[in-house]
């Protein structure tokens, strides 16, 4: 078992602390879990240097999913370090090799803010891409769809579980959790299965991309499930986007200090989460597993 815990790299996304993290594992080889967008590459490079690691020293990059806030800098990293192996799910691999479709859809969504937020999106050479199996760089890999159909989580031998966005957004020191449910492929039963898969592995801590490491695993997963049920029910029962955002903001404001409120709303705005759930329920999909029914009959 490794002695040292993973290093949290604060990428200072949106020029805010505690908005977006990458994780560095130093032993046995320098390994990065997610890398952030290329707009934050200088911040990543400086932070790695503080731990004695240069970009060219990295041997593995493990990606939870290919959304630009998690994987946008992958191609730029390989350009600097051609030996870097980039591990990603099979569904995500094609978007790394040819990111044009991903970039086009993101540019439509973010408009003129795209370049400021994400920077350049560089293809990853196919020879550097490794499709995930059961293990990668000494970590166990397991599919955790729900937030994205290609989402993957990783668990290290020290009990650190890297969960990307599937366990929600939580800005310390608050315990408030916002599910991340943007379009296009939110899947609530898959979310339920993924949370159960994480729980079954009994991790010592959850390592969230937004933001940080938390050791109250059982309580966190319970709050995440409750929030998904609550948000799903609001939308399924007919809340408008304005109503949804107002109620979510009121909940957040009652549970967190103003800095946490600002950071969470900037990092995971409520509007896109409403749209993802609206799209999901508009297709006549199931609600969030058995927990929702239990809440309604309890």
Instruction: Provide block-wise average pLDDT over 10 residues at a time, the chain (298 residues).
Output: 82 95 95 97 97 97 96 97 97 93 85 89 96 95 95 96 98 95 91 97 97 98 97 96 96 94 94 94 67 35
Q: Look at residue 298 in the predicted model and tell me its pLDDT.
A: 30
Locate 191 and state its tokens. 């979310």
What confidence score (pLDDT) does residue 111 get?
86
pLDDT of residue 108: 84
Cα–Cα distance, 246 to 22 (Å, whole number): 31
Q: Which residue shows structure tokens 């310390």?
A: 172
Over residues 9-59, the pLDDT tens digits come to 999 999 999 999 999 999 899 999 999 999 999 999 999 999 999 999 999
> Strand pairing partners for 19?
none
Q: Report pLDDT for 2.
A: 56
In sequence order, the 6+-apart residues with CB closer than 8 A to the CB of 164 are 34, 64, 65, 70, 144, 147, 151, 152, 153, 208, 209
The verdict on pTM exceeding 0.85 is yes
256 φ, ψ to 5°?
-145, 160
Q: Are 184 and 279 in contact (CB under 8 A)?
A: yes
The SS3 call for residue 37 is: coil
Q: How many CA atoms, within 13 angstroms, populate the side-chain half-sphere of residue 146?
A: 29
Q: Report whether 170 contacts 177 (CB < 8 A).
A: yes
Please give the domain boundaries of the chain with CATH numbers for all domains. 7-173+180-220 (3.60.15.10), 227-297 (no CATH)
| CA angle, 94 then 100 then 103, to 5° | 110
Q: How far apart are CA 68 and CA 74, in angstroms?
A: 9
What radius of gyration do the chain's Cα atoms show? 18
């Amino acid at each position: 078992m490794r002695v040292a815990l993973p290093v949290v790299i604060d990428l200072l996304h949106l020029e805010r602390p505690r908005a977006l993290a990458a994780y560095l594992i130093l032993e046995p080889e320098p390994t990065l879990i997610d890398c952030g967008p290329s707009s934050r590459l200088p911040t990543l490079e400086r932070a790695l240097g503080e731990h004695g690691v240069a970009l060219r020293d990295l041997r593995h990059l493990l990606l939870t999913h290919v959304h630009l806030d998690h994987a946008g800098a992958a191609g730029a990293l390989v350009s600097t370090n051609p030996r870097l192996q980039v591990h990603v799910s099979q569904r995500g691999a094609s978007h790394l090799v040819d990111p044009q479709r991903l970039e086009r859809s993101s540019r439509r969504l973010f408009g003129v803010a795209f370049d400021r937020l994400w920077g350049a999106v560089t293809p990853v050479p196919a020879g550097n891409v490794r499709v995930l199996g059961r293990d990668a760089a000494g970590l166990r890999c397991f599919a955790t769809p729900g937030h994205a159909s290609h989402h993957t989580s990783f668990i290290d031998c020290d009990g650190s579980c890297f969960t990307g966005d599937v366990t929600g957004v939580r800005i310390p020191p608050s315990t408030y959790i916002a599910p991340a449910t943007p379009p296009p492929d939110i899947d609530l039963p898959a979310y339920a299965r993924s949370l159960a898969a994480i729980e079954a592995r009994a991790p010592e801590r959850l390592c969230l991309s937004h933001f940080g490491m938390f050791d109250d695993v059982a309580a966190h997963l319970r709050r995440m499930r409750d929030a998904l049920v609550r948000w799903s029910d609001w939308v399924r029962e007919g809340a408008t986007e304005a109503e949804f955002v107002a109620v979510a903001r009121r909940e957040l404001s009652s549970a967190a200090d103003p800095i946490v409120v600002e950071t969470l709303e900037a990092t995971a705005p409520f509007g896109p989460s409403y749209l993802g759930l609206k799209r999901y329920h508009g297709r006549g999909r199931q609600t969030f597993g058995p927990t929702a029914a239990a809440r309604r009959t309890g």
